[in-house]
């Protein structure tokens, strides 16, 4: 049969079908979003960018010497799974510098599910299932692993210049641990405004700042444990925390997908929103 006749017969057959075949127009999905504390779905604000290639990245911290962001990646979180946590190196523009830096090999490495992280005096600190772990910031080599007896879920961490670590324990008992450079662990703060404590940071005066998941309270303690001040983020459900040199605090809400900015002496304002799981 001639090709033109075949094409005409096919056209007739298609015209007899109960529907018309046509090229489907591409429709893009909605941008990522998050439901805020008031229950309103917030589209991601245009000052937020999203990048992939990570696995349950609970925290990031900045290495000023390398000009790189260190991203903690949890491994297989199933009970009894082999330890396979790792640390990625990220360029300031969000592109991946090194997908697996710490964790590319497991020689002498113990890292399961790292959560909070901090950098101090050439050392990367992270908390990981009952341990405070430390790594050489230049090479990634393990330095130490200090057990924190009685802990359930160690979460956020800040480290003072002298190497003293302050770590939130987000499950019962909800408290802040102090781990000294000699490896001694003790309870630093408990009760009061602590309500599922998570993010921890140091301010420029050497105070310890803590945010809660359970409410929007931002708590500042002196190194002796005394309460210095209480502030409030714009939303509750808070996880991440950064304190800048001028005392401004940036707080991320993992539950409601926003970032609050708290300038000294001012009320909090939301500067980014609609971010899913903003740890």
Q: List the 258-262 sheet strands across, edge first.
A: 238-243, 249-253, 258-262, 269-272
Q: Is the pLDDT of residue 9 over 70?
A: no
Quick: pLDDT tens for 148-175: 999 999 999 999 999 999 999 999 999 9
* Mean pLDDT calculated for residue range 272-279: 92
Task: For the chain, give the mean pLDDT.
Answer: 88
pLDDT, position 11: 42
Segment of 89-93, 136-140, 208-212 carrying the highest mean pLDDT: 208-212
How far is it, in rounded angstroms, from Cα 44 to Cα 26? Answer: 22
Structure tokens at 37: 């504390």
Per the structure block, which two tokens stand in for 275? Answer: 């971010």
Tell me which of 106 and 67 has the higher pLDDT. 67
pLDDT value, residue 200: 98
Name the β-bridge partners of 260: 251, 270
The pTM of the full predicted model, rounded to 2 decimals, is 0.83
CATH for 52-236? Answer: 2.130.10.10
Given this model, what pLDDT does residue 125 score?
98
**Strands 86-90 and 68-73, bridge-based pairing:** antiparallel
**Tens of pLDDT, residues 170-227:** 999 999 999 999 999 999 999 999 999 999 999 999 999 999 999 999 999 999 999 9
pLDDT at 201: 98
Q: Is the pLDDT of residue 10 over 60?
A: no
Mean of pLDDT values over 53-76: 87
At 74 the pLDDT is 86
* Cα gap 279→272, rounded to integer Å: 13
The domain locations on the chain are: 52-236
Give me the mean pLDDT over the 139-151 stretch. 94
Q: What is the CA radius of gyration of the chain?
A: 24
pLDDT, position 17: 47
Q: Which residues contact 217 (CB under 8 A, 6 or more apart)?
A: 193, 195, 211, 230, 231, 232, 233
Residue 105 has what pLDDT? 85
pLDDT of the residue at 241: 96
**How high is the pLDDT of residue 211?**
98
């Amino acid at each position: 049969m001639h090709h033109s006749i075949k094409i005409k017969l096919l056209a007739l057959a298609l015209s007899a079908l109960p529907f018309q075949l046509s090229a489907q127009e591409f429709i893009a999905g909605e941008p990522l979003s998050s439901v805020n504390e008031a229950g309103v779905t917030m589209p991601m604000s245009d000052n937020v960018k999203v990048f992939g290639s990570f696995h349950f990245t609970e925290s990031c911290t900045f290495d000023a010497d390398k000009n790189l962001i260190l991203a903690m990646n949890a491994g297989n979180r199933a009970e009894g799974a082999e330890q396979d946590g790792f640390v990625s190196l990220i360029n300031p523009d969000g592109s991946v510098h090194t997908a697996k830096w710490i964790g590319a090999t497991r020689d002498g490495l113990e890292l399961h599910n790292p959560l909070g992280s901090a950098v101090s005096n050439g050392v990367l600190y992270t908390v990981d299932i009952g341990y405070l772990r430390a790594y050489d910031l230049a090479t990634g080599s393990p330095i130490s692993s200090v057990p924190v007896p009685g802990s359930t879920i160690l979460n956020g961490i800040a480290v003072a210049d002298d190497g003293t670590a302050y770590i939130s324990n987000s499950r019962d008992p909800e408290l802040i641990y102090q781990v000294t450079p000699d490896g001694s662990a003790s309870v630093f703060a408990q009760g009061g405004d602590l309500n599922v404590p998570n993010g921890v940071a140091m301010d420029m005066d050497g105070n310890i700042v803590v945010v809660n998941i359970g409410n929007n309270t931002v708590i500042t303690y002196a190194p002796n444990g005394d309460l210095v001040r209480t502030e409030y983020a714009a939303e509750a459900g808070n996880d991440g925390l950064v304190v800048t040199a001028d005392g401004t605090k940036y707080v991320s809400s993992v539950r409601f997908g926003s970032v609050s900015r708290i300038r000294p002496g001012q009320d909090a304002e939301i500067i980014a929103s609609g971010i899913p799981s903003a740890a």
